[in-house]
Amino acid sequence: MWFCMALKTASLSLAFIALAGCANGPTINLDTKKPLKVDPVKVDLNMRVDVYQHPDATVQKRVAGVQPAATEDAQTRLRNRMGEVQVLKNNRIVGESRAGLLEIRNKPPGEFGEYVQRLVDTENKDRMAMMQDIAQKKNLPSEEVQRQQAELARNKAFSGEWIEVAQSDGTFAWKQKGM
């Protein structure tokens, strides 16, 4: 029993030493209203440490200067919408087209169908903004960027998802990605 208590005390001591090493570390008050009884049978200690780093304004300005705000916003919206899009792909409602855009394969009726249409439209608008930005930065034709993005989407697609693939005769066909 004394070994467990010594181990806990050592762990706690290391944590305090680590915090003490911080130049501007916070002051932590560990006083208790009543002294702890030294009971070799049981000592419970629960601790939670949350560490946050808030960048200063100069860092934010440097990061903001890397990308135009519109492109950054489109990236954020695409990332935030990713889960909803994946649900639609998993349910075989939408697929990845040869143009690097989403396309509705089986539009549901009613309000849900309207929701799917709005989601696909906003997703494609943001994808086009991203592709135009890539084309401009790499000095490529937008069609080439769309082809590259479509290939990337096909490669990333999970088994069973709809993808538009090129046929040997130069046409395109919708297929579910194989295992």
pLDDT digits (tens, 9 = 90+) for 133-159: 999 999 999 999 999 999 999 999 999
Q: Answer yes or no: is pLDDT of 61 > 90.
A: no
What pLDDT digit, counting tens, does each position of 93-128 carry? 999 999 999 999 999 899 999 999 999 999 999 999
Same domain? 56 vs 73: no
Let me know: does 143 contact 150? Beta carbons within 8 Å. Answer: no
CA separation (Å) from 8 to 3, 18, 28? 9, 15, 18
pTM strictly above 0.85: no
Q: Which residue has the higher pLDDT, 94 or 30?
A: 94
Looking at the structure, tell me whether residues 74 and 92 fall in a common domain.
Answer: yes
From 2-6, 24-28, 76-80, 123-127, the region with the lowest mean pLDDT: 2-6
**Could you tell me whether strands 94-96 and 162-166 are parallel, antiparallel, or unpaired per DSSP bridges?**
parallel
pLDDT bucket at 178, cuts 50 / 70 / 90: confident
How far is Cα of residue 81 from the mean position of the Cα atoms in its chain? 10
- Burial of 135 by CB count in 10 Å (0-12 exposed, 13-18 middle, 19+ buried)? middle
89 and 151 in a single domain? The answer is yes
Written as one letter, the residue type at 22 is: C
102 shares its domain with 169: yes
Report, as an integer, the average pLDDT of 51-74: 59
Same domain for 144 and 82, yes or no, is yes
Tell me which residue range forms the domain holding 40.
2-60
pLDDT score of 63: 47
Instruction: Tokens for 134, please give them.
Output: 């890539």
Q: What is the pLDDT of residues 64-95, one digit of tens each?
A: 454 555 667 888 888 999 989 999 999 999 99
Total structural domains in the chain? 2
Residues 130 and 158 in one domain: yes
